[in-house]
Amino acid sequence: MSDATTYVPPKVWTWDVPNGGAFANINRPISGATHDKPLPVGRHPLQLYSQATPNGVKVTVLLEELLALGHAGAEYDAWLIRINNGDQFGSGFVAINPNSKIPALVDHSEPTPVRVFESAAILMYLAEKFGAFLPSARAVRAECLSWLFWQMGSAPYLGGGFGHFYSYAPSKMEYPINRFAMEVKRQLDVLDKHLAKVEYLAGSEYTIADIAVWPWYGALTKGLLYDSGEFLDVQTYTHVRRWTEQIAQRPAVKRGRMVNRIRGDLASQLHERHDASDFDTRTQDKIGAAT
C-alpha cells in the first residue's frame, strides 16, 4: 500500500481547512440557502430545475419519452441550475429541495403546486402520473423498482466513492481507489450478468429502471465517466454495452441528454428547454457560446 496516512482525527471534527478537492468551494457541512434567489417559472405544467449530470439526465429523458408517447401534459420548462456556481443554494431552489441537489421538479398542474426532489422520486412521480414506464403487473413492477432502487443505492459508490477518489480528490490514494474500483467492478458484473438474460432491466419492457441506470452505468461503460474506461476495463462488460447502445438509439434519449447540458459539443448543449422546437433552434452552436 503506497499511501499510509499520518492523519489523526481530532475528538470533534471542525470545518476549517478547504480540502483542496474539486467542488471544495461548494461543499459545506450545513444545509440551507446562501443567498436570495427566486426560481423562474415558465408556461408549462412541469418546471424542472436541473443540470445534465447523470442524475439530471434521468428526468429529461423520461420527460422526452413521455412527450414522444403523446402525453402533452408532460410539456416542461427546464431551467439550468449551475451547481458549480452554487445555484442549488439559492432560496428558491432550497424551498423545493432542502437537500440542495439537482434535479428538482415542480408540478403546477395540481391544485396546489407539488414539489418533488430525489431523481428516483421524480421518475416514480411522473411514471405514476402518466401511467407509463412503470409496469403495473406486480412482479414486473417489483423488478423495475428493485433495479431503480439498486441504482439509487449503488451510484453513490460510483460517483461519491470511485469518481471522487479516482478523479476529483487532490491526490491519488491507493486505499480508497482500490476499495471503490472493486465495488464498481462488482456492480458492473451484477448488471452484466443480469443483462445477459434480459433485454431491459425489468425484463422485456423499457422502464424507469433503465432510465435511471443508463446515465450512470451506460456512460461508465462508454468510458465517459471520470476518464476511467481503461482503468476499469469497461469493454469486458459486453451485455451492459449492448444495452447501453440499444438505449442510446432512442430519439427521446438523444434529446433528453441535450437538456441543461453545459459541456461537450456546442450542438449537443441546450441550456434551457422551453419548447420542443428548442432542440432545432436554441442549441449553443445556434445561439452563441456566451449564454
CB 46 within 8 A of CB 105: yes
Sole binder of ligand GSH in the list 88, 207, 228, 283 (CB under 6 A): 88
Query: Smaller CB distance to ligand GSH: residue 101 or 271?
Result: 101
Nearer to ligand GSH, 257 or 282 (CB): 257
- Provide the mask over 91-130, with x wherever binding to ligand GSH is found by CB under 6 A and - wherever it is not: ---------xxxx--------------xx-----------
Q: CB 111 → ligand GSH: shortest distance, Å?
A: 26
> How far are the Cα atoms of 47, 48, 92, 133, 286 from residue 109, in angstroms, in the given order?
10, 13, 19, 20, 32
**Which residue's CB is nearer to ligand GSH, number 104 or number 282?**
104
- Show the 3-state SS of 1-43: CCCCCCCCCCCCCCCCCCCCCCCCCCCCCCCCCCECCCCCCCC
d(CA 148, CA 15): 35
Considering the complex, state which of residue 67 and residue 81 has its C-beta at the smaller distance from ligand GSH. 81
x/- binding map, residues 133-162, to ligand GSH, per CB under 6 A?
------------------------------
50 binds ligand GSH (CB under 6 A): no
Work out how close the CB of 264 gets to ligand GSH at its nearest, in angstroms, rounded to a whole number: 16
- Provide the minimum distance between the beta carbon of 25 and ligand GSH in the complex, in angstroms, as a whole number: 10
Check residue 26 for interaction with ligand GSH (CB under 6 A).
yes
Residues in Cβ contact with 66 at an 8 Å cutoff, skipping those fewer than 6 apart: 74, 126, 130, 132, 133
Question: Is 54 or 282 the residue whose CB approaches ligand GSH more closely?
Answer: 54
Any contact of residue 53 with ligand GSH (CB under 6 A)?
A: yes
Beta-sheet pairing, 114-117 with 104-107: antiparallel
**Collapsed DSSP state (helix, strand, coil) of residue 47:** strand
Least gap, CB of 238 to ligand GSH (angstroms): 27
156/251 with CB nearer ligand GSH: 156
Residue 171 grid cell:
491526490
Amino acid at 139: A
H and E: helices and strands count for the chain: 11, 4
Cell of 23: 467542488
In the complex, least distance from residue 121 CB atom to ligand GSH, rounded to whole angstroms: 8
**Total residues binding ligand GSH (CB under 6 A):** 11
Q: Is 262 in the site for ligand GSH (CB under 6 A)?
A: no
Residue among 248, 250, 255 nearest 275 (CA): 255
Binding residue (CB under 6 A) for ligand GSH from 83, 220, 240, 270: 83
Nine cell digits for residue 289 = 457560446
Q: What are the CB-based long-range contacts (under 8 Å, 24+) for 112-118?
A: 118/152
Provide the 3-class DSSP secondary structure of residue 42: coil
In the complex with ligand GSH, the residue whose CB is nearer, 100 or 269, is 100
Element (H, E) at 210: helix 208-213
Checking phi first, is residue 100 left (phi over 0); if not, alpha (psi -120 to 50) or beta?
A: left
Q: Which residues in 188-247 contact ligand GSH (CB under 6 A)?
A: none
**Comparison of 90 and 282: residue with beta carbon closer to ligand GSH:** 90
The residues that touch ligand GSH, with contacts defined as CB under 6 A, are 26, 53, 55, 83, 88, 100-103, 118-119
